[in-house]
Amino acid sequence: MLFTINQFYIIVGVLLATIAIFTLLDKTHPKRLTSSIFWLIYALIFLVGNYLSEALVGIMVIAMALLAGSGKVIGGKHQQPNLTQRQQDAKRFGNKLFIPAVTIPLVAVVATLLPKGFSIGNLQIIDPKSATIIGVGIGCILALFIGAAITKSRPTQGIHEARRLLDALSWAIVLPQMLAMLGLVFSASGVDKAVGAALTNYINLDYKLVAVLIYVLGMALFTIIMGNAFVAFPIIMGGVGIPILISHFGANPAMVAAIGMLSGYCGTLMTPMAANFNIIPAALLELQDRNLVIKTQIPSGIGILLANLILLYILI
């Protein structure tokens, strides 16, 4: 295959390793040694993670968590690009500045729309298992070169800019992975079974309203705990959806399934566990309150959840 996700792990690994080196060399950085070690470990997990034993990667992850958790990892100080210069450039380059931003989704769309297994000769172009991510990846790299051409800068300037933005995120960039990993460990420890049993064994589900309530709220609550609706779905569907709503009350299975999954998504809007949707954007926007995106989403999340509850109750 020409493009696989592993190539992008290597690219990100090289980027992180470069940042580790720049951080180490940055004499103005107050915690340059420990910060640099943090980025180096993270780089190694991307570069050679596939070849290391899982237990060793586990130890490396705990080391990263302890470094970040004890305040030893912070971002360097960067000068914001000069405002007057930015305004001049905005005038000079005009709407051409949007071209790279459009390039990313365009390339991604082409990559996803290619027929599965599209190949030239015997060479398959894109690994169909991760077509979207590969598409975004190719798009980002193309966009970087186009952007550099438009603004007449060197593409390597992009690495410095990436470091500036990454330093603003600092160790929070790892949170989505840490929390998703925590969800997987919870599953392996049987947390999902325990919650499923608690919901179904101790509550009388013979009343339609109670059954619908437990199903919809269970999906949301479980997603809030695990951070991922895909983990919640099988538990609640297997515990309440199929035996009670579909078999006992004779509800339309496609409807129960779709509304159930979307109730899980309401949970995603309301939990710090889904860090890539809720915490990372707050960090990217440099908000003082890291939970502000979640707080903003809670009223809408509750509203949509109520709509699901009413929909399901009426339609069964």
Q: Which is nearer to other proteins, 95 or 122 (CB)?
A: 95
Q: Which is nearer to other proteins, 85 or 122 (CB)?
A: 85
CA dihedral 49→52→54→58, nearest 10 degrees, is -70
Q: Which is nearer to other proteins, 205 or 237 (CB)?
A: 237
Alpha helices for the chain (secondary structure H): 5-25, 32-48, 54-69, 83-93, 99-113, 131-151, 157-169, 175-188, 191-201, 208-226, 229-236, 253-269, 275-278, 280-284, 292-315
Q: Which residues pair with 126 in a beta bridge?
A: 3
DSSP-assigned letter for residue 249: T
Q: Which is nearer to other proteins, 24 or 99 (CB)?
A: 99
* Minimum CB–partner distance for residue 51 and other proteins (Å): 11
Q: Which is nearer to other proteins, 46 or 215 (CB)?
A: 46
* Minimum CB–partner distance for residue 295 and other proteins (Å): 7
* Minimum CB–partner distance for residue 246 and other proteins (Å): 6
Task: Determine contact, residues 224/270, Cβ cutoff 8 Å.
Answer: yes
- Which amino acid would we find at residue 109? V
Q: How far is Cα 195 from Cα 213, in angstroms, rounded to an integer?
A: 16
* Minimum CB–partner distance for residue 248 and other proteins (Å): 13
* Minimum CB–partner distance for residue 33 and other proteins (Å): 19
Orientation of helix 253-269 relative to helix 292-315, angle to 10°: 160
